Amino acid sequence: MDKTIYLDLELCVGCGACVVACMDQNDIYPEKGQPAFRRIYKVEGGEFPDASIQHLSAGCVHCEDSPCVIGCPTGAATRDDRTGAIVVNKTLCIGCHSCALACPFGVPRYDRDDKMQKCNLCIERVEVGLEPACVRVCPVRALKFESPNKLQELKESKFIGNIVNAVHRAATRK
């Protein structure tokens, strides 16, 4: 698998830009009963004055073992070999909701025709070298589209940066 959508939980503020950009890219209109491919969640913990609030943006993770693909009786859900995206062919979908039962993350949604709807990784964009719309829009770059190793590299350099800053602060205090 090449690049994947990754969310940096430390950065996500739940602004919803990714949700809207996805709707713009994919012509999703909530007023027509069309479900969003991304959703924002807020998790609160603790009590005043020590409360904390965590936001996150969730969508299909295009997982490797893809239970939705295995569970789909008509072959509507398939994996695209080149991008690793799990895509749905709506003409083959019979609305049986097997994918809903199979998916451990609660991703599959259904429109008014009862056809499965979900993120397709903006596969047409990815194929021509563009980022998925949700990643491109993110105002704080919490969403990233990278290979797993590149993501680890980014994480590591951030960690090293923190050490450098701490050393620098200690040195200037003397």
Partner 1 sequence: MKDVEKLLRGKIPGPDTGIEIRKSICTICDPTTQCGLDLYVKDGKIIKVEGSTEHPYSVGTLCAKGAASRQYVYSEDRLKTPLKRTGARGSGKFEPISWDEALDAIAAKFNEIKKQNGPESVAFFSGYTKYFRPYLKRLAHSFSSPNYLTESSTCHQAMAMAQKLTFGLPGGPDLKNTQCLLVWSANPFYSNPGNARAILKGKERGMTLIVVDPRQTPTTALADLHLQVRPGSDGALALAMANVIINENLYDHDFVSSHTYGFEEYRQYVQQFTPERGEEMTGVPADKITRAARMYASVKPAAIMPSASPVVHHTNGVQNYRAVFALVGLTGNYDIPGGNFVVPPSFIHIPGLIPTREHEFIQCKPWSEMAPRIGADRFPVWLDVVDEEAQAMHLPFQIRSGKPYPIKALIGFGMNYRMWPDSNGLLEAVKKLDFFVNVDIFMTDTCKHADIVLPACTSVERSELRCYPMGYIIFTQPAISPLYDSRSDVEIIYELASRLGLKDPLFEAGYEAGVDWILEPSGLSVAELKKYPGGMFVPNPMKLPEKKYLKNGFKTPSGKMEFKSKVLEKYGEKPGFEALPVYTPPKHSRESTPELAQEFPFILNTGSRLPMYVHTRTFRLSWTNSLRPNHPAADINPTDAARLGMKQDDAIRISTPKGAIVVKANLTQMVQPGVIHMYHGHSDADVNVLFEGDYLDPLSGYPGFKSALCKIEKV
* Of positions 106, 112, 128, 149, contacts partner 1 by CB under 8 A: 128
Q: Within positions 15 to 34, which residues make up the interface with partner 1, using CB under 8 A? A: 15-17, 19-21, 23-25, 29-31
Q: Which long-range contacts (CB under 8 A, 24 or more apart) does 77-84 make?
A: 77/116, 80/123, 82/127, 83/2, 83/3, 83/121, 83/123, 83/126, 83/127, 84/1, 84/2, 84/4, 84/121
* Of positions 123, 146, 151, 154, contacts partner 1 by CB under 8 A: 123
The site string for partner 1 over 57-96 (x = CB under 8 A, - otherwise) reads: ----------------------------------------
Residue 14 contacts partner 1 per CB under 8 A: yes
Residue 44 contacts partner 1 per CB under 8 A: yes
The amino acid present at 71, given as its one-letter code, is: G
Q: Any idea what the Cα angle at residue 152 is, between residues 68 and 121, rounded to 5°?
A: 35
How many residues of this chain bind partner 1 (CB under 8 A)?
Answer: 47
Of 11 and 102, which CB lies nearer to partner 1 in the complex structure? 11
Of 25 and 67, which CB lies nearer to partner 1 in the complex structure? 25
Distance spanning both ends of the chain, measured CA to CA: 49
Q: Within positions 150 to 169, which residues make up the interface with partner 1, using CB under 8 A? A: 158, 161, 164-166, 168-169
* Of positions 115, 125, 146, 154, contacts partner 1 by CB under 8 A: 125
Residues that bind partner 1 (CB under 8 A): 11, 13-17, 19-21, 23-25, 29-31, 36, 40, 44, 46-49, 51-53, 55, 122-125, 127-128, 130, 133, 136-141, 158, 161, 164-166, 168-169
